[in-house]
Amino acid sequence: MVRLAFGGDEAKFDEFVRIVKEAVPEADAAVLRGSSITGFRWKDDAPFDCEGPGTSDLDLTLVGSDVLNYYSVTGYWIPGIHSRPLSDEDPDIAPDLKPLRERLMNMVHRPVNIQGTRDWFQYFRGEILEQPYLLLFGSLGSES
């Protein structure tokens, strides 16, 4: 993942994690998901950055009930449980996270999408559905 998403620069990866942690202290955890972890796009198995450097996105998920307060009422796949990603397609669903998204994109020179989810839903996706993820910080299972 560091090789694919951060050009092999572990210091840049560490800085990415630090920025997220400081910007969203309400997050119980944060994970990266998707092709930066697997190396392939789920829809068509295309390799990460198959359309050129910086063309694949990073799928950042903030975990915890309090992070969901960043998302507007229209910004959910499952209201109060799992948001849609703040992205170019939905740029206004989490206005207070837009500066973080911009900062991260400027840092990694690729799109960064930011989703919010409850701890148990991330557990369901990762452990039950076996969707790969990388825990960036925090711990899962800390929601009450």
The pLDDT, as a whole number, for residue 116 is 98
- Integer Cα distance of 77 and 6 in angstroms: 29
- How far lies 67's CA from each of 7, 11, 47, 119, 122, in Å? 29, 26, 31, 11, 13
The pLDDT, as a whole number, for residue 134 is 95
**Ranges of residues in the chain whose predicted pLDDT is under 50:** 144
Rg (CA), the chain: 14
CA torsion sign, 29 to 35 to 41 to 45?
Answer: negative
The pLDDT, as a whole number, for residue 11 is 96
The pLDDT, as a whole number, for residue 144 is 47
- Cβ-in-10-Å burial (0-12, 13-18, 19+) of 87 comes to middle
The pLDDT, as a whole number, for residue 143 is 60
- Using a cut of 0.75, tell me whether the model's pTM lies above it: yes
